[in-house]
Amino acid sequence: MLALMERTRRATARRLNGRYVGLLVLWAVAWAIGFTALWLTDGVGGVALLPTAVGWIVFAAAMIIAMVWSAVVGIGASRDGIRGRSQLQGALYGCSWSITMFAAWLLIAGLQRNGLDNEMSLLVYPGVYVFLVGVQYLAGGALWREVPMYVLGAALIVVAVIATFVGAPVHFLVYATAAPIAMLTVAVLLYAGLLGSGEPRPTRSGAATDPRESL
């Protein structure tokens, strides 16, 4: 019985790690395409190769496709009978993303109302959001003892700080290169087994639990 539970745990861990690696690659590609498009957008980036509307459409499409596919993967994982350590814990963490991002939008809108111009907005918007994504990953990594999440969160915070210091419009190029490189590096290390990850633990019923299913 113990051997069966151990085999189930390892098989589930491999499957979840494969999904996590796939999502990291997906988001790396989405960021690379989206922010490169902004860098090439007339009136926004440093090179005026794309019309303004086209650049923003490409950026939005890349992000939406990544979000939809992430949701599809999450739904597929939930059908495997995998659940987080605590449904309440996962629900609260998931809600914290919505609360944080919406509050960030209101905060920047308030700054715009009080004199933040469009040029600075192009610098502040991605900087704040990428920074908060990094903080959320740090929190999730610490909460569930997920080293890959924690490492990626720290890397994204560093990218946000560096990009903001670099300034507009070059910061789009930083987000299009440094952030995807960080994601792909974590993906490769995780796939190669060189970066530890919280593995699912068998329950009394033999079902496995994994923290990432709450994300």
Place of tokens 């189930």: 8
Integer Cα distance of 71 and 58 in angstroms: 20
Containing structural domain, residue 196? 2-214
Give the 3-state secondary structure of residue 151. Answer: helix
Task: Map tokens 């690659």 to a residue.
Answer: 25
For the chain, how many structural domains are there in total?
1
Indicate the pTM of the whole model: 0.79
Tell me the per-residue pLDDT of 46-101, one tens digit each, with 9 for 90 and over.
888 889 899 999 999 999 999 888 878 766 655 555 455 566 777 788 788 889 99
Rounded distance, CA 92 to CA 182, Å? Answer: 27
Window from 39-53, 99-113, 198-212 with minimum mean pLDDT: 198-212
Q: What is the pLDDT of residue 85?
A: 56
Which of the residue ranges 17-26, 33-42, 52-61, 195-204 would you say has the lowest mean pLDDT? 195-204
Using CA atoms, how far apart are residues 8 and 84, in angstroms rounded to an integer? 16
